[in-house]
Structure 1
Amino acid sequence: MLITHICNLIKQFLSGFFSFLWSLFLNGLLTILPLIATIGFFHLSLKLLKNWLEPIRQWKPKAIEQFPLIEKVITFLFENIPYFEIIVAFIIILIVGIIVRVVLLKTIISGIEALLLKLPLIRPVYSGIKQLTAALDPQNELVFQKVVLFEFPRHGAYSIGFLTGEVPIGLAPNNTEKFFSVYVPTTPNPTSGFYIIMAEKDLTITNLTRQEATTIIISGGIIQPERFNSKNLSQNS
């Protein structure tokens, strides 16, 4: 009996000990896994971007051959600075942005956009991406003025929407209260959604930015800002 009792105690001790070790392992894994996943994601993204931009490393204009010193400097930078082609691509994009803003290149781009919008297969994709980037543009104050919360598609279920403006009297269901136009994007593609006319009393304005709200919608609520305060719409409109 004594031996059996001792064996049971040893089993209980080992069981508790291994359970304790397993819980410590899980705690460590859950702590370090997001960090490893984040580092792995950025490492993979940089690697894919580096491979995609590899032609920049091989590209050498003939004009540079006339300046051996400049050619040596460029070769040195590519060979000794990691991901230098990404830096070059960033600088090129920055220069293009400056040219677009300063020079009349917008006219050419508008012509290309008009051509793309005439192509049946490309038009819906390009148009959707264009609308999304316009909505996320921090300089665009006319699109998606505020992020609101309201009951949709049924009572007790809430959706995130973008307030796009006040509904004109001629379009409002009645003249006794204010109505607002709300765009309700879908997950995971926010370029498609619903246009809804809502009464002011049914809307709750949040302090979410357009970028934060779009991130929540695209991720299906997985990625959320830590803060989420709401106020009465009439106090902020």
Structure 2
Amino acid sequence: MKRYLIAGLLSWLPLAITIWVLLWILGLIQGVFNAVLRLLATLAPQHADLIQSLGQIPGMSVLVTASVLLLSGIFVTNVFGQWLMRQWDRVMGRIPIVKSIYSSVKQVSDTLFSSSGQAFREAVLVQYPRAGSWTIAFVTGKPSGEVLGLLQQQSQPDGQRATEWISVYVPTTPNPTSGFFLMMPRHEVKPLGMSVDAALKYVISMGVVAPQTGTPELPAPSQEQPQA
């Protein structure tokens, strides 16, 4: 009975978690959409009934959100949109407290999601938390400025070439959104051929879901009986 219950749980668990995540995302979108509708109803009370009725249409929040994101992307990619975004960033950069949060989030998001960026484009093996113990990490960039200067002073003997340093993020298991930031010499990490998505699945599953290595299968041994 216990074996059957566990087998049934494992068969439904992926679908249940997927539905739960989708419902959470849809609930978040619907909550923001309803807040915007309430604001519009306050600004235009003569059309309050019509505005509130939009929130009762199934899927309207998702459609409006996708349309806003698409139109925003089209707008900010042209010359005038880029100029307007620079002006907006300049205004946000002058507001106390807000400027530190806004600028930090913008720099991180631009680095992570930029098509030309190198953050989270490479999975590597690093020795952590001690020598001889290996874990998966993701390259996020390279140290610079004062940090790089101090690192090179500690690692560069006189007359030898400077060591190349990289920044890596070591995610925790099974929650990869928390982890550790390390700066290591490039020669101390081992590059992996697997994709970042495959490495992330490997970390989240605690090593249960092994990525495909592409190693060719060996031919099965012959079952023929030796001739007398």
* Equivalent-residue separation in structure 1 for 2:77 and 2:168 (angstroms): 32
Q: CA deviation at 1:115?
A: 4.1
In structure 2, relative to structure 1, the CA distance for the partners of 1:221 and 1:31 (3 Å cut) is same
* Equivalent-residue separation in structure 2 for 1:158 and 1:128 (angstroms): 31
The answer to whether structure 1 residue 164 and structure 2 residue 141 are counterparts is: yes
TM-score (norm 2): 0.61
1:193 maps to which residue? 181
Q: How does 1:100-119 map to 2 (within 5 A)?
A: 100-119=76-95
Q: State whether residues 136 and 211 of structure 1, in contact with CA within 8 Å, keep that contact through their aligned partners in structure 2.
A: no
Query: What root-mean-square deviation, in Å, do the aligned CA atoms of Structure 1 and Structure 2 show?
Result: 4.4
In structure 2, relative to structure 1, the CA distance for the partners of 1:149 and 1:186 (3 Å cut) is closer
Q: CA deviation at 1:101?
A: 0.2
Q: State whether residues 161 and 182 of structure 1, in contact with CA within 8 Å, keep that contact through their aligned partners in structure 2.
A: no
Bigger CA radius of gyration = 1
Q: How does 1:164-183 map to 2 (within 5 A)?
A: 164=141, 171=152, 173-174=156-157, 179-183=163-167
Q: Secondary structure at the match of 1:154?
A: coil
Percent of residue pairs identical: 17
- Among 65, 71, 85, the alignment partner of 1:89 is 65
Q: Secondary structure at the match of 2:19?
A: helix
Count the aligned residue pairs: 193
1:207 maps to which residue? 193
TM-score (norm 1): 0.59
User: Which residue identity does 1:203 align to in structure 2?
Assistant: V
Q: CA deviation at 1:46?
A: 1.1
Q: State whether residues 144 and 162 of structure 1, in contact with CA within 8 Å, keep that contact through their aligned partners in structure 2.
A: yes
93-102 or 133-142, larger mean C-alpha shift: 133-142
